[in-house]
Each structure stands twice: as structure tokens, then as C-alpha cells.
Amino acid sequence: MTKTTPKKRYGMVIDIDRCDGCGACMVACSLENNVSVVPAGAAPHRGLTWIRVYSVTNKKEYPDSDTAYLPVSCQHCGNETPCVGVCPQSAVDVDPKNGIVSQIPERCMGCRYCMVACPYHARYFNWWDPEWPEGTEHLLNPGVTPRMRGVVEKCNFCHGRHHAAQERAASEGRSEIEPNEYQTACAEACPNGAITFGDLADKNSEVAKLAAGPESFQLLKSLGTEPKIYYLTQRGWVRDMATRTPLISKGQSHD
């Protein structure tokens, strides 16, 4: 009898009410994944930030004003993943074993169609040759290959760490990694514990329980892309703004 490997579905829950917008997740992500630094004075929307913290206000006057911080990265869409179908040379892929949407920079020709198709604006192009400030090269992570100029990159749930955990498990004769062996850099770095990462398919995992809770929601749920990043908040205005509800029944609009 063949032993079947349980299908994982890696995802994340971000508690917006805990996020204070410090940006530690962005820094940790950049260091972990060798995200290069763009030249000083680069035009807006030219930077590389696999995870970006948005500051959002409810547009009300004091004392009713309120601000929320939303860290947004690739949402690892689980349904009709917008970037996967458009790539002409199969450089974007959803791993059927774990649901991670991965980018293959070595195959990417930099047409940027995936960036245009992504509703979360979570894909980044290398407009310059990758460079790091002098003296910081020793901080590069030897387990992650830096990307070259002219290709697209994005969050891959710290795939380098996933590989390392798998290799460790294999060397110990295990076919599966334990939940505590694989964590993303942003989840580890958040000082407020706002980011929880894990296997959504494991109903007993913390991430699955949080995602199933009444306060959780997905960004632009109305598009039907079923992101694997969930957000938590008790603030109704944040949820209403970020979710979007279909104004009419979805019906047959998506074939």
C-alpha cells in the first residue's frame, strides 16, 4: 500500500490590531531573502519590499480618527491564482504539496505581466542590478540566491527556510517537517506577535484556528482568489474597507 503524503496548505494570519507599523517584518524579510537595496532617491513604486506595511486611516477628524497598519505581501492565492495563468514561460507556480506560490527568477524574462495581473500589487521588478551598501555584503544569506536585474520577485514564504527544514528532516530519515521547524522571518521578527504562520490544512494549528475565527477576513475576498493570508481585526471599518463585498451575486462571472 502506498503511503500518501498529507497535503499542506501554508498560510498566515496577521493581527492588524497588534501591528504598530514598526516595519521589523520588512527588515527581517529583506535580510532573510537577500532583497537588494535600490539607489537613494529612487522613484516611488520602484523599491523591493516583499512585505509592505500600509498605514490606513478611517479619514475621520479627531477624536474619531483611527489608524491601522496592514502588512501586505504576496497573498499566495489559492483559487485562479492571477499571476500563475498569465506567465508565458511557467516561471510562476503553485506548489501542489503546500500551496506556496513561487517565482522562478532563473526562468523569468521580466515581461511583468504577472505584476499587472496581481490585484495585491505584491510583485516587484528588479529595475537595477542588485546592490548592497558597502560593508553589508557579509549580511547576505548564503541559503538564498539574490535575483538579477530584469526579473520579478516576491514573497515565497521564506522558501529557503522551507528547503533547509526539508533537508534537515530528510537527513534524519523523516519525510515530513515538524510545524516548529519552519517559520517565516517576518513572523519571527514581529515584536508584537502579530503574524502567525503555519499549515492552514492542519485544523489543530494555531494559524488554522485563527483563520477560522469570526474576526478573520481576506483582502479583496470579492475577487474570489482565496488568499492564504488572513487578517484579524475587531475594527469594522478596516474589515469593510479591505474585504470588499460583491455588489451583486457572483453568479457565473468567473468561468
Partner 1 sequence: MIEPLDNRAPTRVFLPWIGFWMAIFALGAYCTVLCLSQGLFHTNMNNRFGFGIWIFLDLTVIALGAGAFFSAFLLYILKKQALKDVIGAAVVLGFICYSGAVVVLAIDVGQPLRAWFTFWHPNAHSMLAEVTFCLTLYLLVLAIEYVPLILKNPSLSKNVSLLVFEGQLHKVVVVFAGVGAILSFFHQGSLGGLYGVMNGRPFAFREHFFIWPSTFFLFILSAIAAGPSFLILINKLASKISKKQLVRKEAYDFLGRISGWLLLAYVGLKSVDTIVWINHTAPASGYSASEFFKEASFGTWILFAEIILFGLLPALVLINNRLRKNPLVMIVAPLLVCIGIAINRYVMTLQSQSLPTLPFEEFVLYTPSLVEIGVFGGMLSYGVIVFSLSYRYLPLFPGLQQKAKT
CA-CA-CA-CA dihedral for 130, 35, 120, 101, to nearest 10? 110
Q: How far is the CB of 71 from partner 1 (least distance, A)?
A: 12
Return the residue of 86, 164, 165, 201 that touches partner 1, per CB under 8 A. Answer: 86
Q: Please compute, for residue 114, the number of CA atoms within 13 A of its CA located in the half-sphere on the CB side.
A: 31
Return the residue of 58, 65, 67, 89 that touches partner 1, per CB under 8 A. Answer: 89
Q: How far is the CB of 153 from partner 1 (least distance, A)?
A: 11
Return the residue of 24, 28, 99, 124 that touches partner 1, per CB under 8 A. Answer: 124
Return the residue of 125, 157, 197, 230 that touches partner 1, per CB under 8 A. Answer: 125
Q: Is 169 in the site for partner 1 (CB under 8 A)?
A: no
Q: How far is the CB of 165 from partner 1 (least distance, A)?
A: 28
Return the residue of 87, 144, 190, 207 that touches partner 1, per CB under 8 A. Answer: 87
CB 106 within 8 A of CB 89: no
Q: Give the range of 16-24, 28-36, 38-46, 162-170 binding partner 1 by CB under 8 A.
A: 38-46
Return the residue of 3, 5, 6, 43 that touches partner 1, per CB under 8 A. Answer: 43
Q: Is 40 in the site for partner 1 (CB under 8 A)?
A: no
Q: Which of 231, 173, 225 is nearest to 207 (CA)?
A: 231
Overall size of the chain counted in residues: 255
Q: Is 41 in the site for partner 1 (CB under 8 A)?
A: no
Cell of 54: 500600509
Q: How far is the CB of 199 from partner 1 (least distance, A)?
A: 25
H/E stretch holding 231: strand 229-232
CA distances, 9 to each of 33, 91, 162, 192, 222 (Å)? 21, 21, 13, 25, 21
Q: Is 73 in the site for partner 1 (CB under 8 A)?
A: no
Q: Is 96 in the site for partner 1 (CB under 8 A)?
A: no
Q: Which residue, 119 or 179, is less far from partner 1 as judged by CB?
A: 119
Q: Is 19 in the site for partner 1 (CB under 8 A)?
A: no
Q: Which of 106, 77, 80, 90 is nearest to 9 (CA)?
A: 77
CB 214 within 8 A of CB 233: no
In which region does residue 125 sit, left (phi positive, over 0), alpha (psi from -120 to 50) or beta (all else)? Answer: beta
Residues 115, 36, 187: CA angle, nearest 5 degrees: 80
Where along the sequence are the contacts to partner 1 (CB under 8 A)?
42-47, 54, 56, 70, 72, 77, 80, 82, 85-91, 107-113, 115-121, 123-129, 148-152, 219-225, 241-242, 244-251, 253-255
